[in-house]
Structures are given as structure tokens and as C-alpha cells.
Amino acid sequence: MSPAEKPEPDAAMIRTKDLVKVHHSDGTDVHAIRGIDLRVRPGEFVAVMGPSGSGKSTVLHLLAGLVPATSGEIWVRGNRLSDLSEADRAVLRRRHIGVVFQFFNLISNMSVADNVELPALLAGANPKQARERREYLLEELGLSDRADASPARLSGGQQQRVALARALSNEPSLLLADEPTGNLDSTNTRDVVRLLEQVHDQGQTILLVTHDARVASSADRVISLFDGMIVDDADVRPPTDSKNAIGSILDL
């Protein structure tokens, strides 16, 4: 059994200890993350907010194991990322984590449908399961009629929703999403929030970066970053049901 599959049912989904990230750029050190201690329970929906440059995207990249920490530790599903080889971190992502980046990184010579099915197939789903999952996700995001299109033919907002569908394709226990509604109008934002609430109801853990207070209001908890540090960590009252949270968006 690879370390990425080590079962630790009681572990936090995410834990960090004194996490520090210094970017080196043009001979200058940028202290992007300056000592973050974080614990996210399985099934929590956490929104990360903060001004531009406060370190939100850097945290997401660190948690996904895509960049190494300068110091401190990160555990995801009980696996200490610094103990895993690059290949094992890739296995962890492929099986258990969905990631949505600010730049969507869709594969341009594959159709929307194939882009969305690929992670499910790589995670071991059979073609029928992958197709059904893709059909469900594209339907929920209002993109069923674009399944055969090339990603290059889609608008930025459509590409963003395809990237979310792809991230959810392998039914990850952890979704890490960077501004998943950044390019969307209020109707499409509502569709995305509704889908996030569905996956949250199914028990998936979500950590998303957002500038949008309406999106954050769907979360269980809002963490505010400033200058690479957590300056606020607040439980928000969970919505009594999904309709109320969606309603608060529709009312705007």
C-alpha cells in the first residue's frame, strides 16, 4: 500500500504546523506565508478570504503538494506531504484531491467531455461511471450542450466551470479551489454554489479561495489571511438548508 493510501480515519483532512513559504524572485525574498497553523475537519466547507497578495493561492498550492514549504509541516488525510515522494503526492491528488486553479489548465486538444472524464478514469472509474459522472457535473453547471466542444471555443466563465467539473470528476474527498467563481455572472455563480453545496452535503471537504462574500456565506467557516498570516478564523452559521444559501445569492 502506498503512503498516499495510508488509512487514518480519525485524522484531520488538513493540518498545517507553523507553515512558512518564501518565494524567491529576481534576487528578492517574498514572505508569502508567515507561520500558519490550520486544522480542517473532514466534511468542513472552508472559505479563505483576504486582500490580493495575502497568500491565498500560495496556501492552496502548498496544500495540494504542488510547491514545497520553506519550513513547517502539512498533513493531508494524515499523510505528511514532506514524507511523500513526488509520485506519491501525485497519487494522493489523483485519488483524493480535486484542484481548481486560477488558470484552468484544460487540455486543448481534448473535448470538454474528455477533459472532465479523464480524472475519473485515472482514479479507477470504469468508462460508464466516468461518463455518468461527467453528464451529472456538466448538467449541474449548465454545460451539457458544450460536451463535444473544444475548451478553446468556450468563454472564460465556461472554461472555469469545466475546470470545476474536472476537479470533481474523481469524487475527491478534498476539493481545493482558487476563485472558482472569479469569472462568473450571478446565474453561473449560483450554479457553482449549488454544486458546491451538494458535494458538501455528500461529505466532501472543500477549501476555496474567494473574494466573493456571497460565495463565502455558503461555507461553514471563513478564514481571513493578511500578509501571509491568519488574522481571523470564524465559524459562520451553517445554512438551515441549501435553498436558503442559494436564496441569499439570488436576492442580490
Ligand X SMILES: Nc1ncnc2c1ncn2[C@@H]1O[C@H](COP(=O)(O)OP(=O)(O)OP(=O)(O)O)[C@@H](O)[C@H]1O
CA R_g for the chain: 18
Q: Would you count residue 30 as binding ligand X (CB under 6 A)?
A: yes
Q: Would you count residue 74 as binding ligand X (CB under 6 A)?
A: no
E-only strand ranges, 41-92:
45-49, 71-76, 79-80
Among 12, 32, 36, 49, binds ligand X (CB under 6 A): 32
Give the integer Cα–Cα distance in Å for 114 and 100: 17
DSSP 239: P
Give the integer Cα–Cα distance in Å for 235 and 223: 9
When the beta carbons of 25 and 202 are compared against ligand X, the nearer one is 25
Backbone angles phi, psi at 167, to 5 degrees: -65, -25
Q: Which stretch binds ligand X (CB under 6 A): 56-64, 86-94, 109-117, 135-143?
A: 56-64
Q: Which stretch binds ligand X (CB under 6 A): 22-30, 123-131, 141-149, 239-247?
A: 22-30
When the beta carbons of 137 and 230 are compared against ligand X, the nearer one is 230
When the beta carbons of 170 and 224 are compared against ligand X, the nearer one is 224
**C-alpha angle 177-217-99 in degrees, rounded to nearest 5:** 5
Q: Would you count residue 55 as binding ligand X (CB under 6 A)?
A: yes
Among 7, 27, 52, 128, binds ligand X (CB under 6 A): 52
Among 17, 23, 131, 194, binds ligand X (CB under 6 A): 23
Among 6, 57, 182, 246, binds ligand X (CB under 6 A): 57
The x, y and z cell numbers of residue 121, run together, are 478514469
The x, y and z cell numbers of residue 241, run together, are 438548508
Residue 103 Cβ vs ligand X, minimum distance, rounded to whole Å: 11
The CA dihedral of 205, 92, 80, 32, to the nearest 10 degrees, is -70
When the beta carbons of 32 and 130 are compared against ligand X, the nearer one is 32
Q: Would you count residue 56 as binding ligand X (CB under 6 A)?
A: yes
Terminal Cα-to-Cα distance of the chain (whole angstroms): 50
Q: Would you count residue 182 as binding ligand X (CB under 6 A)?
A: no
Among 16, 54, 169, 189, binds ligand X (CB under 6 A): 54
When the beta carbons of 51 and 127 are compared against ligand X, the nearer one is 51
Listed in sequence order, the residues at least 6 apart from 112 whose beta carbon sits closer than 8 Å to its beta carbon are: 106, 138, 143, 146, 147, 148, 149, 150, 151, 154, 162
When the beta carbons of 135 and 227 are compared against ligand X, the nearer one is 227
Query: Which residue ranges make up the site for ligand X (CB under 6 A)?
Result: 23, 25, 30, 32, 50, 52-58
